[in-house]
Amino acid sequence: MPTAQERAQVLAAEIKKTLLAIKAAEVKVKQLGDELMQTLAAAKVEAEAERTIVEYPTGRYECKKCRHSTLFTEPTEELPACDNCGGREWTGHEPKITKIEPPSPKKYAAGMYECGQCGVRTAVAMDTDELSPCELCGADKLQPL
């Protein structure tokens, strides 16, 4: 049977091992939080692009590169490559640009939040009007980082 001193050494080693695992987890959480913020920024750019609709009307267009003339009989969101030279720049009709109004902003933006009571970090993936309570302590004191 191990002595109390030997058990204390084993427990101290376990504590050290656990603290190292906690530090590694904290580093991983920070890295994932940074990646989440970058992804959310990209998602906002994508959402903005989806709210802008470009439509080229029907009519005669001329290739800027070779001056080949083409008649487009249906409206299109993107002009095709020139059949003659493969160029993608055309002169002709100006596109109709429609901007769709975004929905009204939510009370809480997507991002990283920290519990004001216990300090645990929580990721919120989408804008929302209500934040759920802290997953660890149940407090309703989440604050943006």
Report the pLDDT value the prediction gives residue 24, as an integer from 0 to 100.
95
Tell me the DSSP string of 77-145: SSPPPPTTT----EESSPPEEEEPPPPPPPSB-SEEEEETTT--EEEE-S-BS-PPPPTTT--S-EEE-
Domain range list for the chain = 4-50+103-144, 52-99
Report the pLDDT value the prediction gives residue 27, as an integer from 0 to 100.
93
Q: State both tokens at 129.
A: 């009007």
* CA–CA dist 132, 108 (Å, integer): 11
Kind and range of the H or E element at 52? strand 52-55
Q: State both tokens at 40.
A: 């959310």
Q: For 28, how many CA atoms within 13 A lie in the half-sphere containing its CB?
A: 6
Q: For 51, how many CA atoms within 13 A lie in the half-sphere containing its CB?
A: 11
Residues listed for the chain: 145
- pLDDT tens digits, the chain, 145 residues: what are they? 789 999 999 999 999 999 999 999 989 988 998 999 999 999 988 888 888 888 999 999 999 999 999 998 899 888 889 989 999 899 988 899 888 887 788 898 888 899 999 988 888 888 889 888 888 898 888 988 8
